[in-house]
């Protein structure tokens, strides 16, 4: 196993951390609405399946993983659109949902193709995700339990946007790729760690709320 595979496999392993945290604290997300819980769990599942599909296609089926990557970031956009809307309603959500298909279609059939690296759609989706996350942080602040996850999304997609915007430089220059790939893998791992920490923090908040309710009932 070469250096890049070792790093990538390690990153995939960290994507399981939120599920480990949920197994240890099964009531951690009870303080969120049903829609927010669904959105978070859907993203946790997506994160694992995205990395797993890339490994299966590339290493086991010896197939081109790029078509799956095109579809994957489009699915990611809609999962996050659902989650962000559940946390803080987005105006004209139906229009945004319909327009969200355009970058995927443009990248797949016009700007490039399904078998070429993601370009336009990656930049647009990552920038949109960062903007939606920033909007929530701006509106609700950093003290609410939702911000434990939204802040991680904002920082992650801001980095993704920069990474995607200058992706051509990394493809052309192998030296740059060698330097950036481990860093970007570390950022992906940090996102999973942030999710795990958010679940632990949410569990503590739920436990504190339950304790206060119990004390109030006692009096």
Q: For residue 83, is pLDDT > 70?
A: yes
Query: In the predicted model, what is the mean pLDDT of residues 182-197?
Result: 89
User: pLDDT-derived band of residue 182, with 50, 70 and 90 as boundaries?
Assistant: confident
Query: In the predicted model, what is the mean pLDDT of residues 144-171?
Result: 83
Report the distance separating Cα 186 and Cα 54, nearest Å: 17
Report the distance separating Cα 146 and Cα 80, nearest Å: 13
- State the residue for tokens 């060698």: 178
Q: Which two tokens stand for residue 202?
A: 């949410």
The overall average pLDDT reported for the chain is 84
> Contact, 84 vs 93, CB < 8 A?
no
Beta-carbon contacts of 169 under 8 Å, excluding residues fewer than 6 positions away, are 176
- State the residue for tokens 């920038």: 127
Position 25 scores a pLDDT of: 94
Position 68 scores a pLDDT of: 85
- From the list 59, 57, 60, 78, the residue with the least C-alpha distance to 68 is 57
> Contact, 181 vs 4, CB < 8 A?
yes
User: pLDDT-derived band of residue 215, with 50, 70 and 90 as boundaries?
Assistant: very low
Position 185 scores a pLDDT of: 81
Position 195 scores a pLDDT of: 95
- Pick the residue with more confidence: 165 or 200? 200
Position 219 scores a pLDDT of: 44
Q: For residue 74, is pLDDT > 90?
A: yes
Position 11 scores a pLDDT of: 82
User: pLDDT-derived band of residue 108, with 50, 70 and 90 as boundaries?
Assistant: confident
> Contact, 108 vs 70, CB < 8 A?
yes
């Amino acid at each position: 196993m070469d250096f890049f595979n070792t790093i990538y496999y390690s990153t995939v392993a960290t994507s399981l951390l939120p599920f480990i945290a949920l197994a240890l604290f099964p009531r951690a997300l009870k303080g969120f609405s049903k829609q927010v819980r669904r959105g978070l769990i859907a993203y946790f599942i997506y994160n694992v399946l995205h990395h797993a599909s890339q490994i299966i296609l590339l290493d086991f089926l010896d197939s081109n993983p790029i078509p799956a990557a095109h579809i994957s970031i489009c699915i990611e956009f809609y999962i996050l659109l659902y989650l962000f809307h559940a946390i803080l309603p987005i105006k004209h959500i139906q229009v945004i949902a319909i327009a969200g298909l355009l970058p995927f279609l443009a990248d797949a059939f016009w700007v490039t193709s399904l078998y070429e690296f993601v370009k336009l759609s990656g930049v647009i989706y990552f920038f949109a995700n960062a903007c939606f996350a920033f909007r929530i942080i701006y509106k609700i602040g950093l003290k609410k339990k939702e911000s434990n996850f939204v802040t991680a999304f904002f920082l992650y997609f801001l980095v993704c946007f920069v990474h995607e915007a200058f992706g051509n430089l990394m493809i052309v220059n192998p030296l740059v790729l060698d330097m950036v790939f481990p860093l970007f893998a570390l950022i992906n791992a940090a996102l999973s760690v942030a999710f795990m920490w958010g679940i632990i923090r949410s569990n503590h908040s739920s436990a504190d709320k339950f304790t206060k309710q119990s004390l109030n009932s006692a009096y």
